[in-house]
Amino acid sequence: MSDLIKDLSELRLSYEKGELYENQVSPNPHEQFLQWFNYALEAKVHEPYAMSVATCNVQGRPHVRTLLLRGATEAGYDFYTNYDSQKGQDLAENPYVELMFYWHDLERQIRIGGQVNKIPELEAIDYYHKRPRDSQIAAHISTPQSGVIESRDVLVQRFNQLHGQVGDKAELPKPEFWGGYRLQPDYYEFWQGRPNRLHDRLSYAKVDGTWKLQRLMP
At CA 7, angle to CA 6 and CA 9, rounded to 5?
160
Task: Report how far residue 191's alpha carbon sits from residue 202's, in angstroms, rounded to the nearest whole number.
Answer: 7
3-class SS at 140?
Answer: helix
Q: What's residue 45's pLDDT?
A: 97
Residues at the binding site for substrate are: 12-15, 70, 127, 131, 135, 197-199
CA dihedral 32, 48, 60, 218 (to 10 degrees): -60
Residues at the binding site are: 12-15, 65-70, 80-81, 87, 109, 127, 131, 135, 145-146, 191, 197-199, 201
Known catalytic membership, residue 197: yes
Residue tagged active-site, from 108, 152, 182, 197? 197
Q: What's residue 82's pLDDT?
A: 95
Q: What's residue 94's pLDDT?
A: 97
Structural domains in the chain plus CATH codes? 14-121+176-215 (2.30.110.10)
Whole-model pTM over 0.75: yes
The tens-digit pLDDT sequence of the chain (218 residues) is 566 666 788 888 899 999 999 999 999 999 999 999 999 999 999 999 999 999 999 999 999 999 999 999 999 999 999 999 999 999 999 999 999 999 999 999 999 999 999 999 999 999 999 999 999 999 999 888 888 999 999 999 999 999 888 877 768 999 999 999 999 999 999 999 999 999 999 999 999 999 999 999 99
Task: Report how far residue 107's alpha carbon sits from residue 94's, in angstroms, rounded to the nearest whole number.
Answer: 31
C-beta of residue 62 within 8 angstroms of C-beta of residue 54: yes
User: Distance from CA of residue 210 to its chain's centroid?
Assistant: 25
Q: What's residue 2's pLDDT?
A: 61
CA dihedral 84, 87, 90, 94 (to 10 degrees): -120
Residues at the binding site for FMN are: 65-70, 80-81, 87, 109, 145-146, 191, 201
